[in-house]
Amino acid sequence: MASNAFRAPKGTNDILPPTSRDWVSLTGHARALFERSGYEYVDTPMFEHTEVFERGVGETSEVVGKQMYTFEDMGGRSLTLRPEGTAPVVRAVLEHNLHRAALPVKVYYIGPFFRQERPQKGRYRQFFQLGIEAIGSDDPFVDAEVIEIAWRLLSEVDVQPRLILNSIGHRAASCRDGYLETLVQWLKAHADEMAPPDRERIATNPLRTFDSKEEKTIAVLENAPLITDHLCDDCTSHFAQVRSLLDDVGVSYDLDPRLVRGLDYYTRTAFEFVAGGLGSQNAVGGGGRYDGLSESLGGPPLPGIGFALGVDRILLATEDRKWADPGPPHVFAVALGDDARRDVFELVTDLRRAFLKAEFDVMGRGMKGQMKDADRSGARWAAIVGADELAAGEVTLKDLKNGDQVRVERDRLIEVVRDQKDTDGAGEPGRLR
């Protein structure tokens, strides 16, 4: 790289060919799968009023407390580049009254998110998520549906995920709030044995001590009281039903009563998908229920559940996979002379309008150079147009595999190419293999 050139900001990636093909293929596959399951596309702004995340995601979460790109606009408003998609989607649902129409609201999104984290493999400052949200129902069937969709997508693209599942109850003295009191007392009694940064969490966000990477803390927490032993009857039964429905559809999971997730809005079902070969950033996705989020954003009670999968991490986990290949052009058109160039441009346009992949020279190369480009492109045919062909209203079709040449009428070119394509059994470009 030249020393005076600009570089993309730290923690961001340029998505370039050929890797971008995998990106297009994965997101296309996800779209089709979400839509088959009744989810519709939404797109919210890249930035929101900062309060949406402070209230929605929670000020004690790491994401809001330490990782947001927050700035003031010219009107003195505090705005934040979205670090996640759930709070914005719920904000949009409430703002546009989607919840007043038929429930549940089932939506999906695909796009960039921003967190000011220390970059490393699989952890970026701009990253991409594929997510769905089902809003308006607390039926365990929705939990099972949502988890199965994430599991299926990951399985279909060969991630072979491990699903970790837990229930973290709901905000009530008989459930999580009561548990938190017990936990805080226990943590206070063991504070001396914990790593110093984790001691602060006892007061701010005690559940998050379970996420500590500090060996000392992990060892102490081996004996800590667990949320699953303190769930209320409703949450216990809800969780049992979710598990049983997942069993019905063959989704296997590992229960982990220490899985707490990093965002404060979660209630009841919480889950994460991990994949091998990714080092410490091995979570390819996560999600859960957020039954109180609507109220945190000023809306009515409106239960919801969803997930987000990390596109960057899925592509890292599937580096060896053969994704869709857009495939070579069916035809590379070669022009001999200026008049023929105009004709070739029309011919290529006609082929493309007929959904065939066609290329031609735009570098002004001579016959030899164009034939070389045709070979290099991997095209099945060169369609050659010179003065002779122009006068006769024909095209010379050269089979680049065996060198055979035939003259075909210009008007029949599409038909001939299409017939041969079907005989060859060539795949459509851009399909997931």
Using CB under 6 A as the binding rule, whether residue 310 contacts ligand HAM is answered as: yes
Q: Smallest gap, in angstroms, from Cβ of residue 162 to ligand HAM?
A: 13
- Of 285, 292, 303, 329, the one binding ligand HAM (CB under 6 A) is 285
Q: How many residues does the chain have?
A: 433
Sheet holding 70-72, edge to edge: 47-49, 78-81, 70-72
124 binds ligand HAM (CB under 6 A): yes
The site map against ligand HAM for 245-264 (x = CB under 6 A) is: -----------------xx-
Binding to ligand HAM by CB under 6 A, coded x per residue (else -) over 368-407, reads ----------------------------------------
Applying CB under 6 A, which of residues 44, 61, 80, 86 lies at the interface with ligand HAM? Answer: 86
CB of 85 to ligand HAM, least distance (A): 5
Q: Would strands 126-135 and 304-310 be described as parallel, antiparallel, or unpaired?
A: antiparallel
HSE-CB for 340 with a 13 A CA cutoff: 23
Nearest distance from C-beta of residue 82 to ligand HAM, angstroms: 10
Rounded to an integer, what distance in angstroms lies between the CA atom of residue 199 and that of residue 76? Answer: 36
- Going 260 to 266 to 267 to 270, the CA torsion angle's sign is negative
Query: Binding-site residue total for ligand HAM (CB under 6 A)?
Result: 27
Whose CA is closest to 86, among 270, 255, 328, 274? Answer: 270
Q: Quick one: which of 56, 206, 288, 292 contacts ligand HAM (CB under 6 A)?
A: 288
Return the number of the residue (288 or 303) whose C-beta is nearest ligand HAM.
288
- Residue 312 in the binding site for ligand HAM (CB under 6 A): yes
Cα distance between the two ends of the chain: 35
- Residue 317, CA distances (Å) to 121, 253, 273, 276, 320 in order: 11, 19, 12, 7, 8
By beta-carbon proximity to ligand HAM, the closer residue of 135 and 382 is 135
Least Å distance, CB 112 to ligand HAM, is 10
Among the listed residues 57, 140, 122, the one whose alpha carbon sits nearest the alpha carbon of residue 309:
122
Q: Does 85 bind ligand HAM (CB under 6 A)?
A: yes
E strand residue ranges, 222-341? 254-255, 267-274, 283-289, 304-310, 331-335
Q: Which of 52, 231, 259, 284 binds ligand HAM (CB under 6 A)?
A: 284
How far apart are CB 300 and ligand HAM at their closest, in Å?
Answer: 19
Establish if 307 lies at the interface with ligand HAM (CB under 6 A).
yes
Q: Judged by CB under 6 A, which of 286, 292, 303, 329 binds ligand HAM?
A: 286
Q: Nearest approach, Cβ of 145 to ligand HAM (angstroms)?
A: 13
Nearer to ligand HAM, 154 or 384 (CB): 154
Q: What is the dihedral of CA 129, 94, 99, 88, to 10 degrees?
A: 0
Of the listed pieces 196-204, 231-239, 249-257, 284-292, which binds ligand HAM according to CB under 6 A? Answer: 284-292
Q: What DSSP letter does each residue of 306-336 carry, written as one string?
A: EEEEEHHHHHHHTTTS--------SEEEEES
Instruction: Give the burial class of 186: count Cβ atoms within 10 A of its Cβ; 0-12 exposed, 13-18 middle, 19 or more buried.
Output: middle
Measured distance CA(122)–CA(119) in Å, rounded: 8
Under 8 Å between Cβ of 1 and 114 = no
**Contact set with ligand HAM (CB under 6 A):** 84-86, 115, 117, 122-124, 127, 129, 131, 133, 262-263, 283-288, 290, 306-308, 310, 312-313
